[in-house]
Amino acid sequence: MNTNQRENIALITGANAGIGLELTRKLLTEDWQVIALNRSDFPADDMKIRKAVMNGKLRIYKTADLADYASLSKTLDEIKDKEKRIDILFNNAGGSFSELSYSKQGHEKHYELLTIAPYIILMELKELLKNGSLKTVINTSSSALNFVKEFNIEILERPKTFRKLLGPYATSKLALSLWTRAIAPQLAKEGIKIRSVDPGGNNTLRKGRDSGLPLVVEWLMKLFYSPPTHGANLLYEGALGEHRNETGMFLLKGQATELKFSDQSQKVLERINAIYRNEFLGSFSKVQ
């Protein structure tokens, strides 16, 4: 393992494809070390990735499912056992689903993966962040949150209707940015900065994978959206650019942007924290 203390270390969830893969490549090119928390493998023919794995610059931790607490807990424990510090945590893993479905814990899947899992990962790896120098968390959000017309905890947890992209996906991304806003003062006391960032429109379609997107959006994505390097650059700038010393904000096109339903930020945070304490920690008899 490469343990050069002068190199920055980033942990990226969903680092093996799309925006996460391009962010991984970018950071490796800039001599960062990258800790990858993935469900799937990296492309087998990517020589830069293979070389980084061989020299210890890229360390891969796999979980069967970020939305499965048993699997996630096991992988996070492995990271805490083997790693010493994290300078930036990129909570980037995501996805959209084509129908209403629920996780093993009984939460709507978008909500579980996009809202709850990033909070669990932050809480579990917070001590490694405190050991780092940059102490920064970037949560990948989405401009889709601007299309949310109605928002409350009940809709978030038990949707009455389902729409691709503009339904549970959008409300879950909004909830992510809301708890990011609410938790910022608490984390600031520990020296940690946190922001949510929209990576813009990127063509992240993968052959043989159901995108969970409306057909018209898939069509537009193929024809007009930027390659995932665009999103990777926005996340990078969100972490290290002009707003690097600020916390709690939502960045849209690189600019601080007001969130809809911000009056519910604290309520969302309290609910997510209760799930973490009672369901995640409680399930595995962890003390924190």
Q: What is the DSSP letter of 226?
A: B
Q: Domains in the chain, start-ordered, CATH in brackets?
A: 9-283 (3.40.50.720)
For residues 26 and 208, the model is more confident at 26
Matching residue, tokens 């190199």 = 7
What is the pTM for the complete model shown?
A: 0.92
Q: What is the DSSP letter of 108?
A: B
Q: What confidence tens digit (pLDDT) does each residue in 47-63 have?
A: 999 999 999 999 999 99
Bridge partners, residue 60, by sequence: 36
Contact 138, 195 (CB under 8 A): yes
Q: What is the DSSP letter of 36?
A: E
What is the DSSP track for 165-200?
TTTHHHHHHHHHHHHHHHHHHHHHTTT-EEEEE---
Q: What confidence tens digit (pLDDT) does each residue in 233-259 have?
A: 999 999 999 999 999 999 999 999 999
Contact 12, 23 (CB under 8 A): yes
Of 40, 2, 44, residue with least CA distance to 20? 40
Q: What confidence tens digit (pLDDT) does each residue in 97-121 have?
A: 889 999 999 999 999 999 999 999 9
**Structure token pair of residue 77:** 């424990």
DSSP reduced 3-state for 266: helix
